Amino acid sequence: MKYALLLLLCFHAYAGELRFTPPGMTQVKGPHQALWPEGAGNGLLLISINGTGAEPHGLVPFGETVVKMGYHKLGLDYPNGVIPTVCKYSTNPQCYDNYQRELVFGDQVSYEVNINRAEAVLPRLLVALKFLVQKDPLRWGRFWKNNQPAWDKIVLYGHSQGAGHAAYLAKLAAVRGVFLTGGPFGYMPEFGFATWASSPGATDPSRYRALLHKTDYFGSDEHLSMMKLIIGEARATEQVIMSQRPERDGHNAIIIDPRYAGVWESFLASFSNIR
């Protein structure tokens, strides 16, 4: 019985996995991770942007839930060593805006990070996805159109630091959906909230979802306020869930504890049901 249980625990819900670093790309925390379901799945791709210091192949229960729901998944490796709270007490009112812009696009505008254009989130995403398309066009080609990602088939997911990157990128690209946990960040006591949050964006505000925790040690009020700026206060009532389940670590439990799988599944299903 012990051995049968061990085999069960080692079983993965996904049909395939590839860990890779495209030629010429620098590996930061670990190789990118691609997962895929049996068959064609639901025709959607979830791109995962993890938090500060995290490796692309983490969040195993969440990844298995994503694939079980029929998604392909790409976990992105990127320079995630500088936590976004570095801007909280900055004397520059544009600190958060510049931090996001440099990390996502590689524009040299921030004093808090130093990211070469090729190493930023979007350029690395493009190279990683194109690598998969060239390696296995029958499986991944549906997510690439006119020499760019087929954004209407892509859900951006981000946790903690990654939540800000996913939400910021969705301002540029009209994606299928945006799923955030433990973020985004953007509040400065002296200056208020980052202006990017309330700026017009390409992705319809109705396509954002966020799972937060009341006891998040970074401050759930900040994350909720940022969501209200991004999607509007009225929508936040339906599109943001604030868990109050007792947790030792509310910031991370919401994305590593399988007890939250019901919420993950609900959000993921909402994106696949869009017509």
Spell out the per-residue pLDDT of the chain, length 275, in tens: 333 333 333 346 678 999 999 999 999 999 999 999 998 899 999 999 999 999 999 889 999 999 999 999 999 999 999 999 999 999 999 999 999 999 999 999 999 999 999 999 999 999 999 999 999 999 999 999 999 999 999 999 999 999 999 999 999 999 999 999 999 999 999 999 999 999 999 999 999 999 999 999 999 999 999 999 999 999 999 999 999 999 999 999 999 999 999 999 999 999 999 87
Write the CA distances from 34 to 1, 4, 84, 129, 135, integer angstroms: 33, 28, 26, 9, 12
The rounded distance, in Å, linking the Cα atoms of 155 and 42 is: 12
CA 90 from centroid of its chain's CA atoms: 25
pTM recorded for the entire structure: 0.94
The rounded distance, in Å, linking the Cα atoms of 167 and 162 is: 9
CA 194 from centroid of its chain's CA atoms: 19
Q: What is the pLDDT of residue 9?
A: 35
CA 62 from centroid of its chain's CA atoms: 12
Q: What is the pLDDT of residue 232?
A: 97
Write the CA distances from 260 to 75, 104, 209, integer angstroms: 20, 28, 14
Looking at the DSSP bridge assignments, the partners of residue 47 are 74, 156
Domains and CATH numbers, the chain: 29-50+62-85+125-272 (3.40.50.1820)
